[in-house]
Copies of this chain bind each other. A is one copy, B any other.
Amino acid sequence: MAEDNSIFIGGKPFMNYVTAVVMQFTTKNADEVIVKARGKFISRAVDVAEVASKRFLEEQVGVKDIKIDSEGFQNKEGRDVRVSSIEIFLKRN
């Protein structure tokens, strides 16, 4: 789930991800955590970042930067598909 301080959002229970973010800042004393997601999980990544920073780490952590990107490729049927991604950079205030 983590590469350095990255949390990759998928289909596990929502609070797992919030806890993972909060623990990076508290137990592991990270200065920055990157919440990442692709496709339909992008909405969830925003939810995780908001709940972690506003409910659990209020005044301590904020959104520093947000990047979006996408990559195009051909699926099995030969159709052009584009999948979006997001990176939300949370940083200690």
Asked if B50 and A82 make an inter-chain contact with CB atoms under 8 angstroms apart, the answer reads: yes
Copies assembled: 2
With A40-B43, A42-B43, A55-B82 as contacts: A50 and B66 at CB distance below 8 Å: no
Q: Which chain A residues in 64-91 approach chain B with CB under 8 Å?
A: 66-70, 72, 82, 84, 86, 88
Asked if A39 and B43 make an inter-chain contact with CB atoms under 8 angstroms apart, the answer reads: yes
Number of interface residues of A (CB under 8 A): 23
Asked if B42 and A46 make an inter-chain contact with CB atoms under 8 angstroms apart, the answer reads: yes
Contact with B along A25-62 (1 / 0, CB 8 A): 00000000000000111110011011100110000000
Asked if B50 and A70 make an inter-chain contact with CB atoms under 8 angstroms apart, the answer reads: yes
What is A's interface to B at a CB cutoff of 8 Å? Answer: 39-43, 46-47, 49-51, 54-55, 63, 66-70, 72, 82, 84, 86, 88
